Amino acid sequence: MILMRQIVPAAITNGTLCRVPAPILTQPEKEEDRSMIVVMQTGSSQADIDAVLERLKEYNLQGHLTIGAERTVVAVVGATIPPTLREELEYCNGVKETVRITQPYKLVSREVRPHDTIVDVRGIKVGGGSTVVIAGPCSVESEAQIMESARVVREAGASMLRGGAFKPRSSPYTFRGLGELGLQLLAQARDETGLPIVTEVMTPTDVELVARYADVLQIGARNMQNYQLLEEVGRTGMPVLLKRGLSATIEEWLLSAEYVIAQGNPNVILCERGIRTFETATRNTMDLNAVALAKRRTHLPVIVDPSHGTGKWYLVPPLALASIAAGADGLIMEVHPDPDRAKSDGGQSLNPENFAALMPKIAAVAAAVRG
């Protein structure tokens, strides 16, 4: 996980604060008034930084501190910024400049942190120029199935194993996953293959349970705006894979990442997985514009899920390659030892042969775009 010293005033760790903000009438009129970062001079001292944070506190503002190799930045968040504050801060020792932020998100913005965030998952680096491939079945179905899946994806060169133990399903009458048993089987697969595991958590009260087994906590598309869940995974400090909602704008997606990071957890991996449009020939419409734009606007790693993005296994290879060419930092794909017998998503799962054939192509395209 990346280095980020964060100043969180006591209040923000108090889960009830956000619900009962004390001064009811301090709500700012306009979004733009609340967005500012303070860029410190190279070589500014700790005392300089503390003085800035102290000044913010006087105005009931919070400061999120990001110490980078090239610059140290204080993001000002949380309440109305008085019109005079900007000038005031620019007179402080060690302050180089203050910058208005034009987007509603702050901590995820490249304006605040220009360099790529690299999320470290048991030594696997996500972001920063490498290409990560996460593969495995939609759902954990049985010990045999998940162990076989883990072996085939590792042999083909995958970096991590995916598998659902808790499955969100549109109908209450369909298979919802094996629950904790599924988590145990995933852990067993990790023990044997060494692959870190990525699995979904659906509700705040399950976070502690899932976090005991998983290496990356996945937030599904349906939960992208489940704010209590975002804050709960934020509090774990663990890597979080945040899928874009079915009809979420890029801005809303980044704001959801902001919810996680605002809890002091910078380890967010964004995941584009297709949006809902009028087209019905494919399950969703992959939005690779969003990948390229997110890479430009935020420092977070962005990966793509072409299995859900297309809904058809035979479209997964071309769209996987397209995602890498568009600048994605990796892929998450459904691979099943026997897709025709999968309990869910069989039609969009690659079989082991097709997955193995795809992997060298992914490397070749990555080399072509980065070379």
Interactions with a copy of itself, residue window 261-280 (CB under 8 A): 262, 274-280
Part in contact with a copy of itself (CB under 8 A); list of ranges 41-49, 74-82, 126-134, 211-219: 74-82
199, 184 contact by CB (below 8 A): no
201, 219 contact by CB (below 8 A): yes
Give the amino acid at 109. S
Nearer to a copy of itself, 94 or 309 (CB): 309
Binding of a copy of itself by 302 (CB under 8 A): no
Binding of a copy of itself by 9 (CB under 8 A): no
Query: 320 to 349, contacts with a copy of itself by CB under 8 A?
Result: 321-327, 343
Mapped onto helix, strand or coil, the DSSP state of residue 347 is helix
250, 294 contact by CB (below 8 A): yes
Structure tokens at 6: 């964060």
Binding of a copy of itself by 96 (CB under 8 A): no
Nearer to a copy of itself, 124 or 303 (CB): 303
Binding of a copy of itself by 226 (CB under 8 A): yes
Binding of a copy of itself by 237 (CB under 8 A): no
Binding of a copy of itself by 225 (CB under 8 A): yes
Measured CA to CA, the distance from residue 337 to residue 342 in angstroms comes to 9
CB of 91 to a copy of itself, least distance (A): 25
Spatial CA neighbour of 213 closest among 242, 177, 181: 181
Q: How many CB atoms lie within 10 A of CB 77?
A: 21
CB of 334 to a copy of itself, least distance (A): 16
Query: 123 to 152, contacts with a copy of itself by CB under 8 A?
Result: 141-142
CB of 264 to a copy of itself, least distance (A): 12
Annotate 192-249 with DSSP letters as a single string.
HH---EEEE--SGGGHHHHHHH-SEEEEPGGGTT-HHHHHHHHHH-S-EEEEPPTT--
Structure tokens at 262: 């605002």
Among 285, 351, 354, 356, binds a copy of itself (CB under 8 A): 285
CB of 126 to a copy of itself, least distance (A): 19
Binding of a copy of itself by 309 (CB under 8 A): yes
Among 138, 250, 270, 350, binds a copy of itself (CB under 8 A): 250
Structure tokens at 128: 């920063």
Quote the strand ranges of 27-182, DSSP E.
Answer: 36-40, 62-67, 72-77, 95-100, 119-121, 124-126, 132-136, 160-162
Binding of a copy of itself by 24 (CB under 8 A): yes
Binding of a copy of itself by 357 (CB under 8 A): no
Measured CA to CA, the distance from residue 225 to residue 211 in angstroms comes to 20
Part in contact with a copy of itself (CB under 8 A); list of ranges 1-9, 84-92, 198-206, 329-337: 198-206
Among 63, 127, 177, 337, binds a copy of itself (CB under 8 A): 177
CB of 223 to a copy of itself, least distance (A): 7
Part in contact with a copy of itself (CB under 8 A); list of ranges 65-73, 109-117, 147-155, 224-232: 224-232
Binding of a copy of itself by 351 (CB under 8 A): no
Alpha helices, H only, the chain: 10-13, 46-58, 85-90, 143-156, 180-193, 207-213, 227-236, 250-261, 288-297, 306-310, 316-325, 352-370
Among 288, 302, 331, 350, binds a copy of itself (CB under 8 A): 288
